Amino acid sequence: MADQVKEWKELGAQLRVDSIRCTTAAGSGHPTSSMSAADLMAVLLSKYLHYDWSNPHHPNNDRLIFSKGHACPLLYSMYKAAGAITDKELLTLRKFGSRLEGHPNPHVLPYVDVATGSLGQGLPIGVGMALNGQYLDKLPYHVWVVLGDSEVAEGSIWEAFDKASYYKLNRLIAILDMNRLGQRGETDLGWNSAAYAARARAFGWHAIELDGHDVIAIDQAYSEALAQNDQPTCLIAKTEKGHGVSFLANKDGWHGKALNADQAKEALAELGGERHIIVTVPKPEAKQPVSTPPSKPLKLPTYSVGGKEATRKAYGDALVALGAHRPDMVVMDGEVSNSTHADEFKKAFPERFFEMFIAEQQLVGAAVGFGVLKKRAFASTFAAFFTRAYDQIRMAAISNATIHLSGSHAGVSIGEDGPSQMALEDLAMMRAVCGSTVLYPCDANQTAKLVAQMVDLPGISYLRTTREKTPIVYSPDERFPLGGSKVLKSSAKDRVAVVAGGITVHEAIKAYETLQKEAIAIRVIDTYSVKPIDKETLHNAAKETDGKLVVVEDHWFEGGLGDAVLDAFAGVGERPPTVVKLAVKKMPGSGTPAELMNAAGIDASHIAAAVKSLL
Amino acid sequence: MADQVKEWKELGAQLRVDSIRCTTAAGSGHPTSSMSAADLMAVLLSKYLHYDWSNPHHPNNDRLIFSKGHACPLLYSMYKAAGAITDKELLTLRKFGSRLEGHPNPHVLPYVDVATGSLGQGLPIGVGMALNGQYLDKLPYHVWVVLGDSEVAEGSIWEAFDKASYYKLNRLIAILDMNRLGQRGETDLGWNSAAYAARARAFGWHAIELDGHDVIAIDQAYSEALAQNDQPTCLIAKTEKGHGVSFLANKDGWHGKALNADQAKEALAELGGERHIIVTVPKPEAKQPVSTPPSKPLKLPTYSVGGKEATRKAYGDALVALGAHRPDMVVMDGEVSNSTHADEFKKAFPERFFEMFIAEQQLVGAAVGFGVLKKRAFASTFAAFFTRAYDQIRMAAISNATIHLSGSHAGVSIGEDGPSQMALEDLAMMRAVCGSTVLYPCDANQTAKLVAQMVDLPGISYLRTTREKTPIVYSPDERFPLGGSKVLKSSAKDRVAVVAGGITVHEAIKAYETLQKEAIAIRVIDTYSVKPIDKETLHNAAKETDGKLVVVEDHWFEGGLGDAVLDAFAGVGERPPTVVKLAVKKMPGSGTPAELMNAAGIDASHIAAAVKSLL
């Protein structure tokens, strides 16, 4: 034991030394936030973390998430100690082109599962990973999440605490690095370890208070955590920011500051200088996920042309069809599954459905957790409420995660419930996500076909569905390639092209019929793929109408379908067409869908008027 | 007492009856979620709520927030019982043009302070209102927040619990209507009153468990809450959804469903039929806010042309200048005030600065609370982290609230910290907010002038600031009207106009200088006002360059400045110009600002190349 204690202390010192060395080499970064957790990580790395460094994607690897992503100098120092990266690479921290970015990023580094750096997101993702191990893959891996004390002020952390105990995730272990100091001073709870423990316990966790620099206490706490059978564990480790160096330890004013060369020299001397220990990290048992039921042929639901169905219902129906075909699918919802119709999947495959209750940040976080462990995760809620998780969605793109989101109840056409329930910014929000795909079907058959394609889409994909039942305009054998569109009405005499998506497609068809009676021919284009958008069809329409387009959408004026269409004409080439945008411009209230679409100026009558304004 | 008990029971029955009547008349809505809290509200309205119905904006009125906004049939029934609205108006619920929308909306109804309907937002706003009463106005009003049990799963609720106890808000009282049933089944804690109480206590609140249908217990609990001196109180009231009607009470499957005419008749019979009691609601003491120090003349900071300063620093300096001039100003930050420079205000006016720690939802919620009580609230964090509060910002617009947001560290130009800290979607997000103003200064003098204008802007205003020090290009006496822009370089020979904002303005100037050497004249336009945008200057530029524009921004390709410029040319009129958009298209990493701007294709060299592509 004495030898092991000495080894842990040496490793802890090395992790501190390396955290200082790499940040000093970078000229920026967070050495002191790394040093507080170094002893905790030394014990974890050499005894508890089971990880195959030659195979970062081994399904039974433990998962280590630095929710306090700014402490990545420590994480990268652990990679060096594990022999996964060289000392030379460690010193490339924060340099252009280095894999060692200022916050951990799986785009470039295979040992990092998820991007962190926006605080409070690691634990909700860890919940998803632990759910995967416990309920789907049935593997004994542990998920270790290093939390900063400042980030425990984020509500997303408590969403995760709540769900972790609800689902009895005993292999989820949070390590709270309670170093007392935030960026600009003391945290709201300081070193009040008892308060953190009381909160964790009230949320159903096993909590252990300990000295985070006492390696024996750390060892005992990890053992105790592993012994829990039906509760997740939170270690509340009292630590010092900058521990081990007298001029840094527990001193304010050192957050996010690299030491200069002289300071680094002094600090290293106090820490006993450079070390280059390589630790033998325990490997995971060679277990594989439990086998899943065989895939059945895909048989999508179909709807009869001329009938009516809500695209949200078709989403639910399609999930069920896909569920039988894709055993790797998992579905979640934010307590509105009977509105989004994700409950259809729940009824068919209860073992692959997870209720996240009204906690949208956790909903998306869990989807990311499943996604990085190769599940095809679908998460749904009212489209308006994905605004609650925009930071998580943004970060999911940095995580290189694949998640599938479906937002129902888009736009003023939801009617009586009023503006709080209307998604009017979701297209803008989702378009502005790196590498995202944004889909907006207008009928049930189209919805089913798009959901079937979503399942294999990498990155962040988003489907916008409508509350109201809309006419079925496409036959079940129609195809809807991503990046495509459908020309629903066209002739050689088209004078204006109307570009619509979702519910406004049906208004555009009505306008077509009205205008036909007045001998005004218009083209109607259904842009079900908002991103990527079908540039070719739009350019043809512009050419053939002498540059006259009307775009109509149930969304705010800014950032939605209208802007996507304008973007399609940006760049060097032919002079862009005239585009009249019809969109929601003032705050809607309650009313019938028809009343509200009329008041917003996006119904058939306004489309017809806009067409005429261009003639 | 016996009389009072009888009165309360009668009033509770009336509130239930009216909740049923108005939803049945509407054909939709949430009667059962209203009925569970009817007894709690009957006692509150007739004895505890101090409110002047003839003056909803009396500064010493108690505030009543239905955080569970879908229970507004109950809220509107209380308005009727208080004599504030007629029975006839009550029955207009959810009709087009009615003030009684499907969720409470202050746009149309003066007794509603803030819009709710996106769950978990009422309590954080209540924290802002209670902070205002306790620390600024120093008025004894109480803030009563009715919480649904489902919404307690939202992390934003726990951000509010944390801040309310931190600031010892003893006049904030949460009434948790624990009716056990959510939209699609049981909540995760059901009727586990002890669990809710343990959580509330662990977060520093006084908690009272009670039977929410026992009016004597309710009366005692309110009394006990009012007696607290340094803690907020949470009542955990065990209730039944649909209480009082045997076929509704505690029955699943009745969420958000109106009774049909027959069901309503049966329910009313069981409840003893219609009543039209008018309650005498206690009035507030006729107190006014404490007087504030006199306003000093505004003396904005100035910076010398040719020097360098970060716009975020100018934001902090301008806050200090405005703080002396505007005693109604209040500033908050999310634990990064030494980065956003809001700490300058904190040093100058500590009594008007509130630290919200790392809890962006609470940060914006508190700003809304201050805003509706007529304070000019500025809230700042890294621009990227406002994505965490997009739902709150969206709802603030529905609340008709006036809040001022400032997001620092925009774009790839922050450098080494990497993508998690880079705001690349904030312009898209903030443009797509109803009635918002979006500002993006490029130098310190411009920043100061814009901040000075923000303070009087109604609605949601947003200022995007830059991490790096940028050259001072404007003299301190330059004017920057909202909706304007600045033509920094122009001549009669301009062949292309480059439209830039913030940090890219300086790249555009560099490109101008390079191209000048090659005898290629370009116009450089600084669009500091992204929304509203200066259409006239853009149209003139298009005309005078024969329709050749380059737009360059440190933001994703979608939804930002480029789309704002394209939008300026939407609509009937001259054929739009060719617009080449330079924006961030792939995931950035770490590096120096110059390296990252080059890699993103938004620096001077790429601007020059884009200009040439148009020639």
A563-599, pLDDT tens digit by residue? 999 999 999 988 899 999 999 999 999 999 999 999 9
Given this model, what pLDDT does residue A574 score? 84
B243 and B213 Cβ atoms separated by less than 8 Å: yes
- The residue of chain A with its CA nearest to that of B548 is A572
Given this model, what pLDDT does residue B49 score? 98
Given this model, what pLDDT does residue B1 score? 76
Q: Which of B189, B251, B341 is nearest to B33 (CA)?
A: B251
- B431 and A559 within 8 Å at the Cβ level: the answer is yes
- A398 and B102 within 8 Å at the Cβ level: the answer is no
- Secondary structure class of A156 (helix, strand, coil): helix
| Burial grade of B517 (CB within 10 A; 0-12, 13-18, 19 or more) | exposed
Complex ipTM: 0.98
Mean pLDDT of A455-459: 97
Q: β-strand A233-238 against A486-489: which pairing, if any?
A: unpaired
Q: β-strand A403-408 against A308-310: which pairing, if any?
A: unpaired
- B202 and A198 within 8 Å at the Cβ level: the answer is yes
Mean pLDDT of A258-287: 97
Given this model, what pLDDT does residue B2 score? 85
Tens-place pLDDT, residues B564-578: 999 999 999 888 999
Helix (H) or strand (E) holding A408: strand A403-408
Q: Least CB-CB distance to B391: which of A385, A432, A531?
A: A385
- A580 and B570 within 8 Å at the Cβ level: the answer is yes
Given this model, what pLDDT does residue A203 score? 98
Q: Which of B572, B576, B580 is nearest to B602 (CA)?
A: B580
Given this model, what pLDDT does residue A72 score? 98
Q: Show residues of chain A in contact with B570, CB under 8 Å.
A: 562, 566, 579-581
* DSSP structure string for B142-184: -EEEEEESGGGGSHHHHHHHHHHHHTT-TTEEEEEEE-SB-SS
- A387 and B384 within 8 Å at the Cβ level: the answer is no
Rounded Cα gap, residues A416 and A407, in angstroms: 18
Structure-token pair, residue A614: 């261009």
Give the closest-approach CA distance of A418 to chain B in angstroms: 5
Rounded Cα gap, residues B333 and B366, in angstroms: 10
Q: Least CB-CB distance to B579: which of A431, A564, A570?
A: A570
- The residue of chain B with its CA nearest to that of A532 is B558
Q: Residue A17 — very low, low, confident or very high, per pLDDT cuts 50/70/90?
A: very high
* Cβ–Cβ pairs < 8 A, chains A and B: 370
Distance of alpha carbon A520 from the chain centroid: 46
Structure-token pair, residue A250: 């527990």
DSSP annotation of B423 reads B
Q: Show residues of chain B in contact with A419, CB under 8 Å.
A: 101, 103, 105, 115, 398
Rounded Cα gap, residues A49 and A141, in angstroms: 9
Q: Which of A352, A517, A504, A392 is nearest to A440 (CA)?
A: A504
Q: Show residues of chain A in contact with B387, CB under 8 Å.
A: 390-391, 394
**Cα separation values, A399 from A52, A78, B597, Å:** 21, 20, 21
Q: Show residues of chain B in contact with A417, CB under 8 Å.
A: 28, 102-103, 117
- B425 and A433 within 8 Å at the Cβ level: the answer is yes
- The residue of chain A with its CA nearest to that of B566 is A566
**Cα separation values, A391 from A118, A381, A433, B63, B576, Å:** 8, 16, 10, 31, 35
Q: Show residues of chain B in contact with A433, CB under 8 Å.
A: 425, 556
Q: Which of A6, A8, A151, A126 is nearest to A71 (CA)?
A: A151
Q: Residue B146 — very low, low, confident or very high, per pLDDT cuts 50/70/90?
A: very high
Tens-place pLDDT, residues A204-235: 999 999 999 999 999 999 999 999 999 999 99
- A562 and B579 within 8 Å at the Cβ level: the answer is no
Structure-token pair, residue A290: 């439990």
Q: Least CB-CB distance to B103: which of A97, A418, A596?
A: A418
B64 and B93 Cβ atoms separated by less than 8 Å: no
Mutate: best of A127, A147, A158, A574, partner B, most B CBs <10 A? A158
Helix (H) or strand (E) holding A122: helix A122-131
- A198 and B195 within 8 Å at the Cβ level: the answer is no
First to last CA, chain A: 88
Query: Is the pLDDT at B591 greater than 80, yes or no?
Result: yes
Query: Is the pLDDT at A1 greater than 80, yes or no?
Result: no
Angle at A220 between CA A218 and CA A225, to 5 degrees: 95
B435 and A556 Cβ atoms separated by less than 8 Å: no
Rounded Cα gap, residues B65 and A350, in angstroms: 37
| Burial grade of A363 (CB within 10 A; 0-12, 13-18, 19 or more) | buried
Q: Show residues of chain A in contact with B395, CB under 8 Å.
A: 420
Q: Which of B331, B395, B213, B284 is nearest to B53 (CA)?
A: B284
Given this model, what pLDDT does residue A575 score? 87
User: Which residue's structure tokens are 């607290």?
Assistant: B228
Tens-place pLDDT, residues A368-408: 999 999 999 999 999 999 999 999 999 999 999 999 999 99
Q: Phi and psi for A127 in degrees, rounded to 5?
A: -60, -45
* Whole-model pTM over 0.95: yes
Rounded Cα gap, residues B145 and B159, in angstroms: 15
Helix (H) or strand (E) holding A161: helix A155-166
Mutate: best of B65, B420, B436, partner A, most A CBs <10 A? B420
Q: Show residues of chain A in contact with B29, CB under 8 Å.
A: 416
Q: Residue B488 — very low, low, confident or very high, per pLDDT cuts 50/70/90?
A: very high
C-beta neighbour count of B89 within 10 angstroms: 16
Q: Residue B296 — very low, low, confident or very high, per pLDDT cuts 50/70/90?
A: very high
Query: Is the pLDDT at A123 greater than 80, yes or no?
Result: yes
C-beta neighbour count of A573 within 10 angstroms: 10
Torsion of Cα atoms, A376 then A380 then A385 then A390, to 10°: 10
Rounded Cα gap, residues A534 and B41, in angstroms: 55
- Secondary structure class of A328 (helix, strand, coil): coil
Given this model, what pLDDT does residue A2 score? 85
A434 and B556 Cβ atoms separated by less than 8 Å: yes
Q: Say which of A151, A154, A159, A360 is annotated catalytic.
A: A360
Percentage of the residues of chain A whose pLDDT score is greater than 90: 99
Given this model, what pLDDT does residue B594 score? 98
- Residue A360 a catalytic site member: yes
C-beta neighbour count of B533 within 10 angstroms: 22
Given this model, what pLDDT does residue A47 score? 98
Q: Show residues of chain A in contact with B182, CB under 8 Å.
A: 335, 357-358
- Residues for chain B: how many in total? 615
Largest CA distance in chain A: 94
Tens-place pLDDT, residues B197-238: 999 999 999 999 999 999 999 999 999 999 999 999 999 999
Tens-place pLDDT, residues B100-140: 999 999 988 999 999 999 999 999 999 999 999 999 999 99
Given this model, what pLDDT does residue B574 score? 84
DSSP annotation of B266 reads H
- Break chain A down into helix, strand, coil percent, rounded to 5: 40, 15, 45
Q: Say which of B360, B425, B507, B553 is annotated catalytic.
A: B360
- A581 and B570 within 8 Å at the Cβ level: the answer is yes
Q: Least CB-CB distance to A390: which of B158, B398, B429?
A: B429
- A589 and B97 within 8 Å at the Cβ level: the answer is yes
Given this model, what pLDDT does residue B265 score? 98
A606 and A596 Cβ atoms separated by less than 8 Å: no
Mean pLDDT of A254-268: 97
Q: Least CB-CB distance to B358: which of A151, A199, A562?
A: A151
**Cα separation values, B14 from A570, B46, B65, B276, B390, Å:** 61, 13, 21, 7, 38
- B421 and A103 within 8 Å at the Cβ level: the answer is yes
Rounded Cα gap, residues A243 and A35, in angstroms: 6
Rounded Cα gap, residues A415 and B68, in angstroms: 19
Structure-token pair, residue B23: 């939803």
Q: Least CB-CB distance to B118: which of A150, A420, A592?
A: A420
Mean pLDDT of B320-340: 97
- B184 and A337 within 8 Å at the Cβ level: the answer is yes
Q: β-strand B529-531 against B437-439: which pairing, if any?
A: antiparallel
Phi-psi region of B321 (alpha: psi -120 to 50; beta: other; left: phi over 0): alpha
Give the closest-approach CA distance of B398 to chain A in angstroms: 7
Give the closest-approach CA distance of A56 to chain B in angstroms: 21
